[in-house]
Structure 1
Amino acid sequence: MEGQRPTRRAADPPVDTSTVLGKVVTVLHAFTADDHGVSLAELGRRTGLAKGTLHRVVNDLMNVRLLEKDASGYRLGGQMFELGMRASVERRLLEVAIPFMEDLYERTHETVHLGVPEGTEVVYVSKIGGHRPAPAPSRVGGRMPMYCTAIGKALLAFSSPALFADVVADGLARKTPRTITAPGRFRAHIDRIAETGVAFEYEESAVGLVCVAAPVLVGDDDPVAAISVTGPATRFRPEKHAAAVKAAAAGVAATLGRRAALRTP
């Protein structure tokens, strides 16, 4: 196992596995949002760490509740959730955004998302789905590419040209027959979003799903997050809710701005 290359997601930072901290981070990054239990052998495959080293790291992480184990295998522990909720920026964002998201859900009774940018991907930090949520591939803590999601495109339209170049360089892989894969066409699409302040997705990330999103812009129009409403193409008309989504995103931005001003001496 020692010579095997560890499995690493594109958004994970490079890690030096010759250090103790590097080994710990490598193990934590080996878990995905879909995991309900991972065996030690599978962790070894994903991390590339030697069995003895991996066993010591796993035991240390279990001792501090960063990992847990049951009959199905290892999983991230409750302490990871507690630490995540102490992240001040994300916590403030959630405190402000959730009331606006709840209002959107009451208006639409469709799935409402809050996502933040990380590299060339969107990380979903909150989701309100109700009793009949659309079968979306998103999940809290999960990631999706920017280029094929409404939230991602809303963020990208107000980000630096360098980020757009990075997204195109990563490749516009076809997720569905409606995914925009031509860089020139995609550039024109993003430019239109920048003009209107609202992004749409029509079955570009998953067949049967449509979506509308707007960015949360603070300071000098810095896109710190985006809000979206997603529903099945059979019943949801995203264009009818563009104004409400845009207003919700603006409300979150204004509230964040006021709170930041109050914290400034």
Structure 2
Amino acid sequence: MTVTPAADDESDRSLASGLDDDHGKRGMLQRAMSILSSFRPTDTSVSPTELAKRAGLSKATGHRIVKEMLELGFLERSNGGVRLGLRMFEIGQLVPRQRNLRRAALPLMHDLREAIRATVHLAVLDGTDVLYIDILGQSDELPSRIGGRLPSYATGVGKAMLAFAPLFIQEQVLEGEFLPYAPGTIRSRAELESELESARRWGVAYDREESTAGVVCAAAPILSLDGALLGGLSVSSRVGQMNLQQVAPAVHTAALTLGRMLAQEMAPRFGAAPIAEYDDNYARAPRGSAPGHEGYGEVYIHE
């Protein structure tokens, strides 16, 4: 398949009159990101014209960006269209936060899966969304996927992380719209505030058919020793296959252990400084209030 820039003729400019890419409202990186973000989990191949349409770009601009991404390896040709290329995977593996968290978490995730016989998720909070960075599945064939995302209010691991997230992120969620994803999805601010308070008190949050019909989960936040949010762990299963209250202590313990393991990797060294000096906006729990971390001191990172 040959991908060539579409002619930037009068008809194309007319077609793009309602789009913002040709009017300087979005920079090149934003347009490129809109192309990459237009791929869907079920896509095996998408035409450049369809990608441009999904991204809200003119056909000429979309084709031009796709051509450059093919040359750079971010996209590759496939079955009459294009798909994400291996260069995207290669760069993604270099993200320090994801790489370090996954490496430390994998042994604990394996232990959880073997002990509970349920699917184990490792997630981080990306803005107000849950982003799944690793999943160890069971035979229950749950619909979650690595790289998938859901609103934090609609998942157990999302609520567990949101309870310890910066206050401005909590307010964004609490003041936003609660779209239904499943029969049990939270639908009001008061309900979510109650769930977050429970998560802060007990260190565990639950999903009772809130993100997917027929699926439940127990989740715990991964916290640094001073209460800063690092990520979240959850175990999920079909309704009736797992007792949430019985598995919650195991998830909580695994998350605590992982937080302490990560803290040891960030131990004080010459020239290091407390995390608090790097992020004044980070809303940590007061020292000693993070469940299970009572009595620990500051956590350090390297400059």
TM-score (norm 2): 0.79
Q: Which residue of 1 aligns with 2:176?
A: 170
Q: Which residue of 1 aligns with 2:64?
A: 56
For 1:131-150, what aligned pairs fall within 5 Å after superposition? 132-136=139-143, 138-150=144-156
Deviations 1:6-51 (A, max 9, x none): 7xxxxxxxxx665433332222222233322212221121122222
CA distance in 2, matches of 1:148, 1:124: 14
Deviations 1:68-118 (A, max 9, x none): 121152111000000010111211111101111111011112110001001
8 Å Cα contact 2:46/2:83 also seen in 1? yes
Cα offset, 1:121, TM superposition: 0.6
CA change 1:99–1:3 in 2 (3 A) is: farther
Match of 1:21 among 16, 25, 29: 29
Cα offset, 1:153, TM superposition: 0.4
Q: Which residue of 2 aligns with 1:117?
A: 125
Cα offset, 1:201, TM superposition: 1.0
**Percent of pairs with identical residues:** 34
CA distance in 2, matches of 1:34, 1:47: 17
CA distance in 1, matches of 2:270, 2:114: 34
Deviations 1:132-160 (A, max 9, x none): 13423x21001011001010000011123
SS where residue 230 of structure 1 aligns?
Answer: strand
8 Å Cα contact 2:49/2:62 also seen in 1? no
CA distance in 2, matches of 1:173, 1:48: 24
CA change 1:264–1:180 in 2 (3 A) is: farther
Alignment partner of 1:2 is 2:16: yes
For 1:78-157, what aligned pairs fall within 5 Å after superposition? 78-130=86-138, 132-136=139-143, 138-157=144-163
8 Å Cα contact 1:134/1:230 also seen in 2? no
Match of 1:231 among 225, 233, 237: 237
Q: Which residue of 2 aligns with 1:251?
A: 257
CA change 1:215–1:125 in 2 (3 A) is: same
Q: Which residue of 1 aligns with 2:216?
A: 210
Cα offset, 1:251, TM superposition: 1.1
SS where residue 220 of structure 1 aligns?
Answer: coil
Letter in 2 for 1:217: L
Unaligned runs of 5+ in 2: 1-14, 272-303
CA change 1:21–1:148 in 2 (3 A) is: closer
CA change 1:72–1:187 in 2 (3 A) is: farther
Counting matched residue pairs gives 255
Which piece of structure 1 moves more, 144-153 or 19-28? Answer: 19-28
CA change 1:67–1:17 in 2 (3 A) is: farther
CA distance in 1, matches of 2:262, 2:238: 31
Unaligned runs of 5+ in 1: 7-15
8 Å Cα contact 1:134/1:232 also seen in 2? no
Letter in 2 for 1:224: L
Cα offset, 1:233, TM superposition: 0.5
CA distance in 1, matches of 2:146, 2:170: 24
Larger gyration radius, structure 1 or structure 2: 2
Match of 1:201 among 198, 201, 207: 207
CA distance in 2, matches of 1:18, 1:105: 44
8 Å Cα contact 1:17/1:26 also seen in 2? no
TM-score (norm 1): 0.89
8 Å Cα contact 2:225/2:260 also seen in 1? no
SS where residue 127 of structure 1 aligns?
Answer: strand
